[in-house]
Each structure stands twice: as C-alpha cells, then as structure tokens.
Structure 1
Amino acid sequence: MNVLLQVADTAGAACVFLGAAICLLGVVGMLKLPDVLSRSHAATKPQSLGLLVVLAGVALRLHSVMDLATLALIGFFQLLTGPVASHLVARSAYRTGQVERGDLLFDDLDAQLTEPGQEEGQGRRDSP
C-alpha cells in the first residue's frame, strides 16, 4: 500500500508540473500572438487544459471525498467561465474594430450587425 501511495504522489507531482508547463505555454502564446482573436484562444484553451491537469495532479495527492468534490467544482466552473469570457472579449474586439475582418474565414457576426433597420452598436431585438 505504501508503494501505491508513492506512485500516486509521483504521478500527482508530474501532473502538476505538466499542467503548469501547459499554462506557461498559454502565457507565451498570449505574449507572442499578433491579434486579439489568437490571444483569446491562447488565453482560454491552454489555461483550461493546464488547470484541469493540475487539478488531476492535486486529486492524486488528496484522498478526502470533500477535497475531490471541491476540485471537481473548480474544474467545472473553469470550463464554464473561461470560454464565455473569451467569447465576450472576442465579440467586443470585433465590435470595436480591433479585428482585421479580411483575415476571417467566416464572418457570421457581420451579417447580424448589418441587418436592415439596425444601427451600429445596437443588439438584435427578438420580439416575444
């Protein structure tokens, strides 16, 4: 049993180190990438994956059910809030003209913003 705990501790430490390295790569991407959309991608994807790997490493070291439930909630809320925040940053960058529209493969938001009868800056209003 003692050997099993040592293996779990070693695997947990490796997961924490690997998750930290993934998060570091996300930070490097945020510093090096040229535009807002690329930086938004680098801020969300590696950070979420890195945090989940770190949480898995910590879970290997902890053995309490309450601690594991807390780690699961942390992972859930990270996966819930990270992409939403990134989407809002990208959408506001698009609306303020910080996105080079010629570089986009698909521009579905342009059709929504330029509907007839709507001014720039107004959202869509769906009638009930």
Structure 2
Amino acid sequence: MNPETVIDAVSAVFMVVGALMSLGAAVGLLRFPDLMSRMHAATKPQVLGLFLLLAALGLQMRTWWVWPVLVVAWLFQLLTVPVSAHMVGRAGYRTKHLHPELLSADELEAVVQKAARQAAARHGTDDDANR
C-alpha cells in the first residue's frame, strides 16, 4: 500500500471526525436548554474537533515546518477555551442565565453571596467616608 494513500485516508478520517465534532458543538449550542449546558457543548468537542482538523491539515501539507505552527494554534485554543468558558459561566451564573434545577450541586452560591456581602460592606464604608 502506498504511504501517500494511507496519509490521505488518515487525514480524511481526521477531517470528517473533526467536522462532526464541530457540528456536534454547534447543535449543542442550539439545542441545550441553558447557558451552562451550551457552554459545555461549545468547549469540549470544539477543542478535540479543532485538533483533528489541524492534524489533518498537517498531514496533507506534508512539510515539517507547518507542524509547530499548528501545535501553537492548538495550544492557544487549549489554553483560552477553558478560561473563557469559566468566565462566561461565572457571568451567566451571576446574571441568573441558568436553570438551577439542572445543577446537581451549586458550589458557586456561597462564593457569590460572600462577594455580595463584602461589596455591600465596602459600599457602606464608602458612604460613611463621603458624609
């Protein structure tokens, strides 16, 4: 079997699976009921789908210099997607864009209440200083 044929077949499989992962993320964004579920659907399959598409691209280019660029692109996605999802999730929680009945455990409630008490205490102190 020709090595180029094997590389073409592997890259085709990577492209199809990567595209299906990205399609699954898009369907999850449209169909899931609340922000937290949508956020999960947007981040998990998207990172793996992008990895597979970048790997397919690297295999098709058949040059060594493209791999470091593709790895850097994937690493940036790997580092930024969880951070952005975390920030969107916290903002959505604070603005009540979620269904609390779908949460199995609400670990953020105590943190948000503590921050609200601290902000109220600071506001009270600022009001006294301005008088």
Check whether TM > 0.5. Answer: yes
**Secondary structure of the structure 2 residue equivalent to 1:22:** helix
Partner of 2:127: none
Question: How does the TM-score come out when normalised to structure 1?
Answer: 0.84
* Alpha-carbon distance between aligned partners in 1 of 2:6 and 2:34, rounded to the nearest angstrom: 43
Alignment map for 1:28-47 (pairs within 5 Å): 28-47=27-46
User: Aligned pairs, how many?
Assistant: 120
Residues 93-102 or 79-88, more deviating: 93-102
Task: For residue 114 of structure 1, give the secondary structure of its aligned residue in structure 2.
Answer: helix
Quote the offset at 1:101 in angstroms. Answer: 2.6
Contact 1:30 1:42 in 2 (8 A): yes
The 5-angstrom pairing of residues 7-22 of structure 1 reads 7-22=6-21
Match runs of 1:92-103 below 5 Å: 92-103=91-102
Match of 1:118 in 2: 118
> In the alignment, is residue 4 of structure 1 matched against residue 3 of structure 2?
yes
Aligned to 1:27: 26
Moved more, 31-40 or 55-64: 55-64
How far apart in 2 are the matches of 1:10 and 1:103?
42
Q: Which runs of 4+ in 1 moved over 6 A?
A: none
2:107 — aligned with what? 108
Quote the offset at 1:75 in angstroms: 0.8
| Length-normalised TM-score, structure 2 | 0.83
Q: Say which structure is richer in helix.
A: 2
- Matched-pair contact (CA < 8 Å) for 1:33–1:39: yes
Is the radius of gyration larger for structure 1 or structure 2? Answer: 2
Map Cα deviations across residues 23-60 of structure 1 (whole Å, 9 max, x no partner): 00110111011000000001101111100111111122
Q: Give the superposition deviation at 1:67.
A: 0.3
